Structure 1
């Protein structure tokens, strides 16, 4: 599809057109011309969007759909449409399905489902077979098939020796090990963050210690073995401090944070709304402040939506029985640009995570492939059910302030508008 983006402000520090308002002509999937005033040629659609800004296509490194196994939560086809309309042209797809992504055949299946679509899917393989935490999965074979990392999604690996072996083994082919930060024995049957609110509301608490012990253990293992380790969705002040110290030692450690943990605290639990039941649990304002500071000083490498659709039968229940998880693709940008500013936010959903996972960094330059996110920073509203595009509607951000708007994406020769 050939298109002409009129009066688009380019946000790309690597481009000579950075912060300039220009017309951008895209033909056969490539940026063919950037100039102040371009006339639309034949066989071309002119796109005029109010206060349009374009950046390199966003990458969300932690996305779950349901397929295969839980298609009632979200099919891959619908999930791809949600991602594209939410500004994301690339996603890391978690092994949060059944069968688990623990073999090259499942990796190939997932990649095939994205062929010819507007979003590039990069599967994240299970670290262990069936994500059971007992036996290393076929890591090398999965990487050869296209897996970008290995993680037992939302399952803390309790066997320290298994993490040690994985870090040693993956060095032979440059694999990235991910370790979810939760010590199950300490976490116990906790439902929410252990603290004043859990006590006041009579809900079983999970102490921050459960996360911090696991982070500390994994950092010791990394120091011993070498290799590459990523800790996803950290949520506490102490975790930030531990990782900052490890980076100062020169360890090859990266970490990420979810948008919800930057915008919502456990004060919301007073409503007993199961949409606020997520993992890791929502923490305190002190933790939120530390996470934001960790992003600003580079301790935390990038942001994810941690998009995790849960069907209504498993979410609209008594709080203790509901499944953890919140969708987040639709709300990531509008929830964070006020808090972080555009420069930091775009960096944390483009260049930094793409580099960590070995993906190519595009640039808005003539002759380059058009891989673009389209949005505006103008306007404020309340995020409501009408803003949800996913099949499941379990958003922790409902009722919160939304700043700006995502118009959509252009990638793989496909324009997708919300």
Structure 2
């Protein structure tokens, strides 16, 4: 496959061409040349107004529901949505049926996704069945292709299990990913506890449920001298605790979701069940603190928390709806719209570089002779996200009808070109 990318601004801090507007010639999956003007016979051209190109983006926390829940999403539909959102790599949570808790299920995901345009990396379950009780065979899963370990949407609640897991993965320099959430505090809460939850008459979940979990998880990581990644961080106090831990050289990283940067608890007043997520949307002060942490560099990467839910579990009363929303296709657009002052280099760090470094996945670079793994996007493109744009099997997005500035255009990965435009 011969491809010429025309007049693209290269955004890649690892590349000698960073910041340049150039043509890029790709042949057989490799970057052949990067120059001001390239013409090659019979080459497919990628051209768009304001075209930018970066190393392919990676998502650290998505639910593709396969195997077992294919009525919500499949590896194929998830990969399709990921490519449209600009992602070349996606890490999938183990909350499947059966759970990704043994090497045979890891191998199922790896093998079934090998011909898809996106690389799908299984997160191995820390415990059997992601039930939080007995440790799974993590080393076997690591050898079979698991890039990190997590109980995904069911974060570990037992300090004893968590510290054993942290000690176990240390032997092979693994990473444990955890949503910080103490479920024993107001387990029936439906949204953030505060003035808005009181006005709406909905049971609240206090921010302290997250804050306590962050403090506890950090202490256990220090004790085990192991690697911990906290995802979905959403409160001021959590961010403060993480900052202090980093200053003390604790081996901890964190990620934020795009939708926690966009919404706050006041947005739930219409009882839109698509806005029911975990962790819940916090108040405006927490949202502002999170936005600052993303812009300033405290947050290491962005995690879409792409969690498809079928109609039967979303088009119901708020109380009965399941947590989660779609995220892969709107991640970049949300970031670029909410924080327009943040330079594109920072988004590339958050979307393409840092997560790979955390997970020890090779970081692609835009340079002559390098294997091409690229994301195409337009930072200044104004557009509206419509129902027809959704490529996931499920349709649970609160962003339908929302206007954004900044649009992902597609990817080049695995010697395949996948574009949102012709």
TM-score, normalised relative to structure 1: 0.97
Give the corresponding residue for 1:383.
385
Partner in structure 1 of residue 70 of structure 2: 71
* Alpha-carbon distance in structure 2 between the residues aligned to 1:13 and 1:214: 34
Per-residue displacement from partner, 1:22-47 (whole Å, max 9, x unpaired)?
111110000111111111223x2122
- 2:359 maps to 1:357: yes
Distance across 1 between alignment mates of 2:197 and 2:301: 29
Partner of 1:17: 17
SS at match of 1:292: helix
Q: How far did 1:355 drift? A: 0.2
Q: Output the CA distance in 2 between the equivalents of 1:83 and 1:245.
A: 34
How far is 1:383 from its partner? 2.5
Find the residue that maps to 2:171 and give its secondary structure: coil
Deviation at 1:19, TM superposition (A): 1.7
- d(CA) in 2 for partners of 1:382, 1:283: 26
CA shift digits 1:370-415 (9 cap, x unpaired): 1000111122233332332211111132333311221100011000
**Greater shift in the superposed pair: 85-94 or 385-394:** 385-394
Secondary structure at the counterpart of residue 105 of structure 1:
helix
Once residues 211 and 369 of structure 1 are traced to their aligned partners in structure 2, the CA distance between those partners, rounded to angstroms, is 41
Work out whether residues 335 and 401 of structure 1, in 8 Å CA contact, stay in contact via their aligned partners in 2: no
1-structure distance, mates of 2:194, 2:343: 31
Deviation, structure 1 residue 81: 1.4
Aligned equivalents of 1:322 and 1:413: distance in 2?
40
> What does residue range 17-416 of structure 1 map to in structure 2 within 5 Å?
17-42=17-42, 44-338=43-337, 339=339, 340-416=342-418
SS at match of 2:363: coil
CA distance in 1: counterparts of 2:347 and 2:44, whole angstroms: 30
- Cα deviation, residue 180, structure 1: 2.1
Does the Cα contact within 8 Å between 1:67 and 1:97 map onto a contact in 2?
A: yes
Q: TM-score, normalised by structure 2?
A: 0.96
1:65–1:96 CA contact under 8 A, matched in 2: no
Taking structure 1 as reference, are residues 52 and 19 closer, same or farther at Cα in structure 2, changes over 3 Å only? same
Partners of 1:156 and 1:179 within 8 A in 2? yes
2:234–2:290 Cα contact (<8 Å) kept: yes
- What's the secondary structure of 2:334's corresponding residue? helix
1:305-359 CA-partner distances (Å, limit 9, x unpaired):
1111101111100100011000011111111113144222111011111100001
Is 1:40–1:46's contact at 8 Å kept on the other side of the alignment?
Answer: no
Once residues 249 and 34 of structure 2 are traced to their aligned partners in structure 1, the CA distance between those partners, rounded to angstroms, is 42
For the aligned residues, what is the CA RMSD? 1.2
Distance 2:408 2:179 in 1: 30
SS across alignment from 1:255: strand
In the aligned structure 2, how far is the partner of 1:410 from the partner of 1:203? 45
Per-residue displacement from partner, 1:183-234 (whole Å, max 9, x unpaired)? 1110320000000110000001000011111111111112222111111111
Partner Cα distance (2:368, 2:41) in 1: 17
Question: Which residues of structure 1 form unaligned runs of 5+?
Answer: none
Describe the SS at the equivalent of 2:185.
helix
Deviations 1:136-177 (CA, angstroms, capped at 9, x unpaired): 111111111111111111223221111111111111111111
